A and B are shown apart, each in its own frame.
Chain A
Amino acid sequence: MQLVLSGDEAVARGALDAGISGAFAYPGTPSTEIMEYVQDNLAAYVAGLPEAERGKIVAQWCSNEKTAYESALGASFAGARAIVSMKHVGLNVAMDPFTNSALVRINGGLVIVVADDPSMHSSQDEQDSRVLADFARVPCFEPSDQQEAYTMIRQAFGYSEQNEVPVLMRLTTRLSHARAMVQTGSPRLPAPKPKSNDPKSWILMPAMARGRWKLLLEKNAAFRRDAEAENTLQLRSTKLGVIACGLGLAYYLENETDWVAANGGASAQHSSKGSQRDGATPGEAPSLLRITRYPIGHDKIRQLAAHVEKLLVIEEGYPFVEREIRGVFGAPVPVMGKLSGEIPLEGELTPESVRLALGLPAHEELPPAGIKVPGRPPQFCQGCPHADSISALQEALAGEADFYVASDIGCYTLSALPPYRAVESCVDMGASIGMARGASCVGQKKAVAVIGDSTFYHSGMTNLLDAVSHKTTLTLLILDNSTTGMTGAQPTISPTSQLPALLQGLGVERDHIHELISLRKYQDENAAVIRSELAYEGVSVIILKRECLEYLKKARKA
């Protein structure tokens, strides 16, 4: 079947066609659409299964990436194929199960799909998940386009089962969120394996873990060999050797014809089909090593280096391959890339940056506008409940000289921008409560944390427990909009109605839990409640409730 799919959707389609029984995730741009596609297509998927299998298929949003990961791991132990998907910083949250699950014997195929966000379109850093796959010593697959994303995740499940290891599949924003035609293959139905009777391979107590770690290190030699076999080398021009990783290939191929023309070749016709030319017949185009799997082997790189005058490494994210090639003692030929400055170290690859790195002149441009074109940063939707909650907080703090407002990750972080300039820090999921608490512990007056309901469930609860246990003075505002808003209104893990009971269960005193409706017309009374709690020496929680407008829009459509 031919479908038009984004990279995220191609991965999801591939996972369904690989016969997954479980999909687990926490929303995060640019990975969210993986789970959304699985959920949207789940009914049709289940209907195609034998009666006995139908009750055993799930696609669930989870509290956070760590819980999602652990559910996927359990599904694998039980013999089923499972996918867990997240954005790059989500893998930090799931780092504990991720690195440790590399040591256990994977049963049903386990694939972790991580979408990196170079250029930080919707993120707080641009970390490169290939580095974390390397850190955990697990194989990493990196597709170069949507078709490969589909094909490769199907291979990844098989590879995971054959090698009894989790496989990390890395996407980047422009692959996740670009749509192209994808040819799908015939689906494989779920075929869960039996649970094994070898618990030693699942128990990471030191004595067992040492054996498992040794085994993993031994397996790495095979991972490297397999990656080397998959990464394709074409020896052509001796002038330049290009090493293109993942999506970097598309930016190279965009400019290949022009390179050939500029370097004395006929205006060649093979620009788009370069990958199908094989063997060592020297052509006009640069020699090319395509990397789609890690850890990389070194033989093809050596062959390439022996054939060309210089190398150019094109990779999204960190100079990961480039650094490996350079080593301490230097490469036999010049290596160009992010470390040498031909490609910027920060931000995503662009067709322009790769063009310049290939030594080609920039395309001619019209002069920019004669007037200043101001940026248009994101802002609260018209009528957003967060805007009213933040206004109430600002009214409550008016006239205070010494306070600290810590924010969390969500739409309300937009209150850092004018006209609000209301919050002072935003670092990671759930951090607002910990940061406000720590500041309060060392004497900060009026420490306030602002967090959304979804982020609170994600990783705010444990910080609140710390505050309750240590009787730290802080004021927590939970902006409860019943959804995960910024990523497009996915359901939160727990309903609004349960929140007060949850807070009491964590030990917050009942008299200091307030439920307010966040509307402009209640601003003064809401501010009064916040002000009185700011004066309280202890933990107080103010829930400001009103549904997200995106959520209402989505609910109306459904």
Chain B
Amino acid sequence: MNYNIILAGVGGQGSLSVSVVIANAAMKAGLQVKQSEVHGMSQRGGEVLANLRLSDSQIQSPTVPRGMADLVLAFEPLEALRYIPWLNKERGVVVSASQPIRNIVDYPEIDSVLAEIRHLPRFRIIDADGIAKAAGNPRAANIVLVGAAADLLPIPISALESAIDEIFARKGEAVIQANRKAFNDGKTQFGK
């Protein structure tokens, strides 16, 4: 079993911590992981990409080959489009937040961006920001997105939940609860 994830967002959105949550959960479930990310200059408000590979055997390339991603988890819809060539033609799914981050002058019409996602064979679009706000923590939009993709991952829900609890453990009970709710609300959006 191999499962390849591209996490795409904009610097500051917390995509790298989501990568850690999923990786930790996968390890709890007995899988091997390889995570790759780029630090430094690109983190300053630019496009941020993390690669996460899960497998029950040894993982080689630190990055996901083009055409081999099972999941593109996009924290912003334009960033989802950027990684379409990485999606596997037969099984790749895009799970994308709907809210654009317009920090560039040539950001396309949001409707056309979302329409492009809807043209893909398999996609989920979710108002991660709105759901996180309603859950009591606007900063938990990234965890809403994990919830929205939870049933696609080769990881038991319980492992994801405890990985989320662990990463927020130091921030106190209120933050843990808000993130649990964010995860669940993301999960139930797609009837799971």
Contact = CB atoms under 8 A, between A and B. Distances in A.
Interface in A325-370: 350-352, 355, 362-370
Contact of A179 (B10, B33, B47, B60): B33
A11 to B, nearest CB: 15
Given A122-B40, A250-B61, A366 B89 contact: yes
A254 B41 contact: no
B116 A122 contact: no
B67 A362 contact: yes
Contacts of A254: 60-61, 65
Contacts of B78: 373-374, 376
B108 interface: yes
B45 A381 contact: yes
B87 interface: yes
B41 A29 contact: yes
Interface in B41-63: 41-47, 51, 57-63
Nearest to A414: B44
A30 B40 contact: yes
Given A4-B33, A179-B34, A373-B81, A363 B66 contact: yes
Given A250-B60, A378-B11, A371 B44 contact: no
Contacts of A535: none
A365 B112 CA distance: 21
Interface in A100-126: 121-122
A368 B68 CA distance: 15
B63 A350 contact: yes
Interface residues of A, number: 53
| Of A29, A247, A378, A381, most B-chain CB atoms within 10 Å | A378
A366 B87 contact: yes
A171 interface: no
A379 interface: yes
B148 interface: no
Interface stretch (B99-107, B157-165, B183-191): B99-107
Interface string B96-136: 00000001111110001100100111000000000000000
Given A4-B23, A30-B39, A486-B41, A374 B107 contact: yes
Contacts of B79: 376
A418 B105 contact: yes
A127 interface: no
A365 B88 CA distance: 7
B67 A365 contact: yes
B65 A122 contact: no
A5 to B, nearest CB: 11
Nearest to A348: B63
Contact of A363 (B59, B68, B82): B68
B175 interface: no
A178 B41 contact: no
B108 A372 contact: yes
A137 B27 CA distance: 42
Q: Is the interface of B mostly helix, strand, loop or mixed?
A: loop
Contact of B33 (A177, A180, A365, A487): A180
Contacts of B121: 366
Interface in A165-215: 173-175, 177-181
A423 to B, nearest CB: 15
Contacts of B61: 250-251, 254, 351
A375 interface: yes
Contact of A378 (B43, B58, B84): B43
A179 B35 contact: yes
A374 B37 contact: no
Contact of B41 (A122, A364, A375): A122
| Of B36, B47, B82, B116, most A-chain CB atoms within 10 Å | B36
Interface of B: 10-12, 23, 27, 32-47, 51, 57-68, 78-79, 81-82, 84-89, 92, 103-108, 112-113, 116, 119-121
20 contacts: A122-B42, A177-B36, A178-B34, A178-B62, A180-B34, A250-B61, A250-B62, A363-B66, A363-B68, A366-B84, A366-B85, A366-B120, A366-B121, A367-B84, A370-B116, A374-B78, A376-B78, A377-B46, A380-B44, A411-B41
Given A177-B38, A179-B23, 12 more contacts: A32-B39, A122-B41, A178-B34, A179-B33, A179-B35, A180-B32, A180-B62, A352-B66, A363-B88, A365-B67, A376-B10, A380-B44
